Structure 1
Amino acid sequence: MNDHPLVSTQWLADHLSSPDLVVINAWMPPVTHPDAPPVYPEAHIHGAVFFDVNEICDKSSDLPHMLPQPHVFSSAMRKLGIGDGQTLVVYDDFGAYSAPRVWWTLRSMGAERVFVLDGGFPKWRAEGRPFEDAVPRRTQSHFSSRLNNAAVADIDDIRNVITSGARQILDARSADRFEGTAPEPRAGLRAGHMPTAQNLPFNHLLSENGTFLPREDLIKTFQEAGIDLNRPVTTTCGSGVTAAILTLGLTIAGARDLALYDGSWAEWGSRDDTEVATGPA
């Protein structure tokens, strides 16, 4: 394997029996359908463990699914049988939604060999590949969390970026939410975007079948959104989930100095001490 963050369904099928491989089903219901049930209990890739983004998070925060403390994350990974040195392949039920968030979380916590299944479970099933409903029994493993603080932006980091212009801000929400012409799906949030931010809805990085666009097409897409891939980028969205799709796409495109604003608009749009812009970027 190389440093490319995606693996194909064929690659996973060929390596599914590898002893150092752990498949992870990343789960989070869409904000528009918060009561949607996971597919995992009825159907998942052989041996996959279930990673619930809304459970493996900072439960003390009033913001949704914020990164947990490293020791809490280590404990959660140990219980899932995820340990140091393993090759981790993450997928989700929608193609590309919560899997990039779990990929980013694992990478931010120090895991080195983490990949996303391109096309996710929809592509796997469409190709007639096998799945199961049995919950695997994995031996607990030791996971050493080492939080990379540079990968995670907080509200003060965003304030500094807006003032200094040292980084680009890229928002994954839809254009109407970014411009403030559509209401936010979460109650109590103002409409609009952070000053200086550019907008690139996350679905613009994906093909019609849910796979990521080829690298050259991703580069062109980012450039057309006003992003200089040679300059630092901080991604954001509604709550830090689809921002990770941008982060994954930027990684594929060759960008390296990347951070993700974990609180995203759920934090920024809920406060009265943050500046909000409306209209196109």
Structure 2
Amino acid sequence: MSEQENFVVTPDWLQDNLDTPGVTIIDGSWYLPAQNRDPKAEYDAAHIPGAVFFDHEQVVEPSSKLPHTLPSPEDFARIIGTAGIAADDTIIVYDGPGLFTAPRVWWMLRTFGAKDVRILEGGFDNWKAAGRPVTDELTPVAPCVFHVDPHPERIASFEDMMGIVESGERQIADARPAGRFTGKDPEPREGMRSGHMPGAHSLPALSLARDGKLLPADELKAKIESAGLDLEKPVVTSCGSGITAAVLFLALESLGNKDVKLYDGSWSEWGSRSDTPITTAEA
């Protein structure tokens, strides 16, 4: 049975609950450099009333040389608590197109103990196009304590991935576009080899959504299975820097797979090292 309804809210629901106590809204937008969009500037110009901005470049491990590395539980709790977000809130996350970077925020919050996190169907672009309320007013924030409850079982480390690739104990789902997976297209970041991990399956994140929403459960299941993945077996998701791997995590969990990990270092780590096995063979 699909569990999508447990992870999303409709625009109608959110509009009806903008002023409901305990409902917290996060603008989790982020864009690739080639998209030429500044998420903070767009947030400042217009956002859903009451939303706070989540900066993907700041909610990271400061000592890491990799992009978007997950911060420590303590640092995450401090940053999120300063933004007035509590673990017991009903937290609604959105991004511009709908299912690009919001799932990463959804995954991070749940990994650190948030109880009820949902993604806005359709994203902010559709929200605006429908004429729903937006504002440029600064959202007042009352800092609070985010009671962190880490779930490390949702995270795969580099060492974990080396073992997974060697043993095949867990399926690997790669969210990057097919051209990058096969090595036909170059990586957008310098210093990275092209290709994919041996045994990985190509499952581009953008193929799992339509109009900013996850595909209906039957279509989603068919898409995942056509990539060679078994929904009954453990999976680890990966992408370029750990962002869109969360889209796959969301899709798999929405179809009932509870044994999913996300490789936080993703290709930024794997592809930049000289000691990792890489292939360009179709999988």
So what's the TM-score if we normalise by structure 1? 0.96
Amino acid in structure 1 at the alignment position of 2:136: D
The one of 20, 25, 28 aligned to 2:22: 20
The Cα shift of 1:32 comes to 2.8
Distance 1:14 1:216 in 2: 29
How many residue pairs get matched? Answer: 280
Structure 2: gaps (5+ residues) = none
Question: Could you tell me how far apart the structure 2 residues matched to 1:27 and 1:13 are?
Answer: 19
d(CA) in 2 for partners of 1:179, 1:15 = 45
Q: CA deviation at 1:34?
A: 6.7
Structure 1 position 35, deviation (Å): 6.6
- Residue 27 of structure 1: how far off its partner (Å): 2.8
Deviation at 1:95, TM superposition (A): 1.9
Q: Would the aligned equivalents of 2:4 and 2:255 in 1 still touch at CA under 8 Å? A: no
- Structure-2 residue corresponding to 1:241: 243
Look up the SS of the partner of 2:28 in the other structure. Answer: strand
Are the structure 2 counterparts of residues 31 and 147 from structure 1 closer, same or farther at C-alpha, using a change threshold of 3 Å? farther
Residue in structure 1 matched with residue 266 of structure 2 by the alignment = 264
1:151 alignment counterpart = 154
Alignment correspondent of 1:177:
180
Matches within 5 A, 1:31-42: 31-33=33-35, 36-38=38-40, 39-42=42-45
- How far apart are residue 94 of structure 1 and its match? 2.4
Letter in 2 for 1:247: F
Q: Which digits, 9 at most, give the CA deviation of each residue in 1:89-114, with x for residues without a partner?
A: 00012222110000000010011100
1:160-199 alignment, distance < 5 Å:
160-199=163-202
Q: What residue is the counterpart of 1:8 in the other structure? A: 10
Deviations 1:238-265 (A, max 9, x none): 0000110111111112211010000000
| 2:29–2:54 contact (8 Å) kept in structure 1 | yes
Kept in 1, the 8 Å contact 2:25–2:52? The answer is yes
Counterpart check, 1:73 vs 2:76: yes
| Aligned match of 2:64 | 61
Tell me the CA shift for residue 16 of structure 1: 1.4
How far is the alpha carbon of 1:37 from its aligned partner?
4.5
**Mapped partners of 1:253, 1:37: distance in 2:** 30
Percent sequence identity over aligned pairs:
44
Query: Any unmatched runs of 5+ in structure 1?
Result: none
Contact 2:104/2:247, CA 8 A, preserved across alignment: yes
Task: Give the letter aligned to residue 29 of structure 2.
Answer: W
Runs of 4+ in 1 over 6 A off after TM superposition: none
RMSD after superposition: 1.5
